[in-house]
Amino acid sequence: MRMSVIGCGYLGAVHAAAMASLGHDVIGIDVDRERVETLSAGVAPFYEPQLTELLRAGLEAGRLRFSTSMTDSADAAVHFLAVGTPQAPNADAADLRYVDAAVDALLPHLRPGSVLAGKSTVPVGTAARVAERVSGTGATVVWNPEFLREGWAVHDTITPDRIVVGAADDPAGRRAVDLLRDVYRASTEAGTPFLVTDLATAELVKGAANAFLATKISFINAMAEIAEASGADVTLLADALGHDTRIGRRYLGSGIGFGGGCLPKDIRAFAARAEELGRGSAVGFLREVDAINLRRRDRAVQLVVDALDGQVVGRRIAVLGAAFKPFSDDIRDSPALDVAVRLRGLGADVVVTDPAALDNAATAHPQLNYRVERDEALRDADAVVVVTEWDEYRREMSPQHAAELVTGRIIVDGRNCLDAAAWRDAGWTYYGMGRR
């Protein structure tokens, strides 16, 4: 099927490459010329496992192209809208300017019978507004939210847990849903559930899913606070809770909390939209979820300060990790970098390392020191903080080897990802989050 993907960021670039890999004929459109050139050369503009291979395969097969011109999307049967919806400046609400600009630019190219499938995460009610805007072109609007995780984006796009399509319950809506069934036939034949809803429910599924995940993470981090006050161990607690199949262990990873380009801004936008709808109190707990999350960053900084007996100025601190999570070079709202920046703000000599995110981190925070090699970051450190649970730190860093490099054997495990006993046995003072 001929399709366009409008917006080639984390979501759109992966979606375009994945759709080409399913055999579709895809044109990716972006206003950023440099990004279009990079993608056209078969280079992923950000770190995402498997994306480069998928891009190259699509380009070589002639099924994937990129362009800055919306005109090139004119013969597409489906237009996927995948532009960003960042947090608005000085507000919690989503900034919809890119959605509106993309729809306006697409309007002259929409043909009767074509489908505009929204993938961007939007406040409930946006799809109906977009449908209103395109009425008169003969095109149909559906909403088809994306649930991909960075680092697993290719996997999540090709084999998602579920496909949700929201559409109006009328002949045009049903035709559009059938077209989307054709788009995703390879996935549904492999067993992926295909759920059809109205427009508002499809938009809400995405917001609610992210709100639930954020709440689950903050729940265990709230338990970490209680564990700290009572001498319990939150990781053992999470293991025990997780065996209850109604609860499950996933997203009970305690530590410095969630960040990234989605969860933080999505829960704020969700709460802001609920306020607009006069139902702010229904999701008032999301403010608390946000507050618990941010408190964990304070806690990690405090652990380092306490471990150094309050003597932070001029002390060398190795910060292992900058990305908001492993398998990503994304530093948007990264708890890891936030901890590094705060320690620097207290006067510490902070040295940051990360396997993928150093360039992005150095551009955003030139005041920090950076080392490509982990061992160089560890050298002469008075304390070490692990803030992103890359395998390079979690599995591959030997406490004995690290002990030979540092000045002070103090390790703060901001992700509860290290084997505490192994580090203590090697002579380190180990501090976890919500652990004795």
**Which residues line the annotated binding site for substrate?**
147-150, 206, 251-255, 259, 325
Give the interface size with ligand UDX as a residue count (CB under 6 A): 20
DSSP code for 149: P
CB of 316 to ligand UDX, least distance (A): 26
Residues carrying an active site annotation: 262
Scan residues 130-149 and list those touching ligand UDX (CB under 6 A). Answer: 146-149
Helix (H, G, I), strand (E, B) or coil at 139: coil
What single string gives the DSSP state of each residue in 6-47? E--SHHHHHHHHHHHHTT-EEEEE-S-HHHHHHHHTT--SS-
CB of 371 to ligand UDX, least distance (A): 22
Cα(291)–Cα(256) distance, rounded to whole angstroms?
Answer: 12
Tell me which residue has its CB nearest to ligand UDX: 253
Give the nearer residue to ligand UDX in terms of CB position, either 324 or 428.
324
**Taking the CA atoms of the chain, what radius of gyration do you get in angstroms?**
23
Rule CB under 6 A: is residue 203 a binding residue for ligand UDX? no
CB of 232 to ligand UDX, least distance (A): 18
Rule CB under 6 A: is residue 118 a binding residue for ligand UDX? no
The candidate with the shortest Cα–Cα distance to 366, out of 329, 337, 406, is 337
Give the nearer residue to ligand UDX in terms of CB position, either 110 or 164.
164
Rule CB under 6 A: is residue 28 a binding residue for ligand UDX? no
212 φ, ψ (degrees, to nearest 5): -65, -45
Rule CB under 6 A: is residue 7 a binding residue for ligand UDX? no
Per-residue b or e along 363-390, where b marks 16 or more CB atoms closer than 10 Å to that residue's CB? eebeebbbbeebeebbbebbbbbbbbbb
Give the nearer residue to ligand UDX in terms of CB position, either 25 or 146.
146
Rule CB under 6 A: is residue 9 a binding residue for ligand UDX? no
Helix (H, G, I), strand (E, B) or coil at 119: coil
Give the nearer residue to ligand UDX in terms of CB position, either 149 or 174.
149
CB of 257 to ligand UDX, least distance (A): 5
CB of 334 to ligand UDX, least distance (A): 7
Rule CB under 6 A: is residue 253 a binding residue for ligand UDX? yes
Q: Which residues are annotated as a binding site?
A: 30, 35, 85, 121, 147-150, 206, 251-255, 259, 265, 325, 332
Choose, by CB under 6 A, the member of 157, 210, 215, 360 that binds ligand UDX: 210
Residue 372: how many CA atoms within 13 Å on its side-chain side? 1
Q: In what order do the strands lie in the sheet with 115-118?
A: 64-67, 25-29, 2-6, 78-81, 115-118, 140-143, 163-166, 194-197
CB of 303 to ligand UDX, least distance (A): 16
Rule CB under 6 A: is residue 3 a binding residue for ligand UDX? no
CB of 362 to ligand UDX, least distance (A): 20
CB of 121 to ligand UDX, least distance (A): 7
Contact range with ligand UDX by CB under 6 A, out of 18-26, 41-49, 78-86, 253-261: 253-261
Beta-strand relationship, 115-118 and 140-143: parallel
Helix (H, G, I), strand (E, B) or coil at 127: helix
Contact range with ligand UDX by CB under 6 A, out of 159-167, 248-256, 281-289, 351-359: 248-256
Give the nearer residue to ligand UDX in terms of CB position, either 119 or 365.
119
Q: In what order do the strands lie in the sheet with 369-370?
A: 369-370, 349-353, 316-320, 383-386, 410-413, 429-431
Choose, by CB under 6 A, the member of 63, 268, 297, 325 that binds ligand UDX: 325
CB of 54 closer than 8 Å to CB of 17: yes
The residue type found at 200 is: A
Name the one residue in this structure whose structure tokens are 């309050």: 310
Cα(157)–Cα(46) distance, rounded to whole angstroms?
Answer: 17
Give the nearer residue to ligand UDX in terms of CB position, either 42 or 160.
160
Beta-strand relationship, 369-370 and 429-431: unpaired
Q: Inter-axis angle of helices 51-60 and 10-21, to 10 degrees?
A: 50
Rule CB under 6 A: is residue 413 a binding residue for ligand UDX? no
Helix (H, G, I), strand (E, B) or coil at 143: strand
Rule CB under 6 A: is residue 223 a binding residue for ligand UDX? no
Q: Which residues are annotated as a binding site for NAD(+)?
A: 30, 35, 85, 121, 150, 265, 332
Rule CB under 6 A: is residue 257 a binding residue for ligand UDX? yes
> Which helix (H) or strand (E) is 298 found in, with range?
helix 285-307
Choose, by CB under 6 A, the member of 217, 385, 406, 412 that binds ligand UDX: 217
- Residues binding ligand UDX (CB under 6 A): 146-150, 210, 213, 217, 251-253, 255, 257-260, 262-263, 324-325
